[in-house]
Structure 1
């Protein structure tokens, strides 16, 4: 139901966008406010540790990196492109 709510024109969608992203009117692109992290569990508690060495890349750049490995690009799939 959560994902359905984000696709709707309800207040949930607006709240999510307000907290998780911002729209740059000059470039007409969405800038996300989140960063990569590693989820760890200690006992019954969970922590997110900021990941180092990650950067956002454009989809076209990701596609080129994946195709250089000889694999076919698919949305929503994990690819290891470097060691």
Structure 2
């Protein structure tokens, strides 16, 4: 299979591509191949600048979402009934 090489890529583009690859659980090579394949098979679906912008902002990894949730909910929920009480009530209702 032939190989491609891209020279003189700006550092910020590389950072964006690495972030996008990480968010998609791919290697940098895998992400580049996926992008090129998508553009070739579905022309007009991906604009280069838009893709890099999306990789930088607006999309979060599950780790980022979990961290934000932990910061918002520092204390556990204590006002409701214990799970054992709910289970007993359910069993008694049968």
Q: Could you state the TM-score of these two structures normalised by the residue count of structure 2?
A: 0.22
Q: Structure 1 or 2: larger helix share?
A: 2
Give 1 or 2: higher strand fraction: 1
Q: Larger Rg: 1 or 2?
A: 2
Larger RCO of the pair (alpha carbons < 8 Å, separation 6+): 2
